[in-house]
Structure 1
């Protein structure tokens, strides 16, 4: 946490390489990525109790559906130009991670980058939906 804000990040190339399999289907790999995100958000709520509900959360992604983000309590905000620049600079590892998840050479559209914000309290108020998503992905 920095300046009262938690910035949520996806996995690194290292994480994708060792947790996803090129021998598994694209659907299974994508499911694993979303499953890990939901598990991380649930752990976040377990670690930080209600007294920290005003802590801000921010996340940036090019593949999270805005409708799903809204159901979890996130609202779409303008993406910081520096974040866009960093995504471009890191395009190669992002492309490799995306290709591993898709089980084929794939080029993510970093120009479709979306940024979201919420608070722990807003996320907590949507915990039922988060838990349902988690259980559905678990099976």
Structure 2
């Protein structure tokens, strides 16, 4: 009896695992809190085009939403090919923690592979990416997960 079929099967299994056979990666995790009903949310955005809200089941998101989520991840985690040093490093590596303004409705904590950023809807001097993150969070919660906010 030869071990060739067993070795071939192990090689195929190793190749599949190396080529993405494992679970899809998270793009980022948003934790939202606030002073209005429905503000509390934990949103997990997955690189396979899915999202889960508050630990629930996975829901599909649109192609446009996935593209936006991937772009936001690049802004959070940086882009090695960017010429600008700040864009190479990314917002998460800078550990940005912006204090809320005087009247805050929603606060966000976004965790990605390279770190965590914290901001509120009324934080001063927010990067444009934070406004886009707040909008995407709301859109995904409402459209994909069927939540009111």
TM score, norm. by length of structure 1:
0.25
Asked which structure has the greater RCO (Cα within 8 Å, sep 6+), the reply is: 1
Larger proportion of helix = 1
Larger proportion of strand = 2
**Which is higher, the Rg of structure 1 or of structure 2?**
2
TM score, norm. by length of structure 2:
0.24
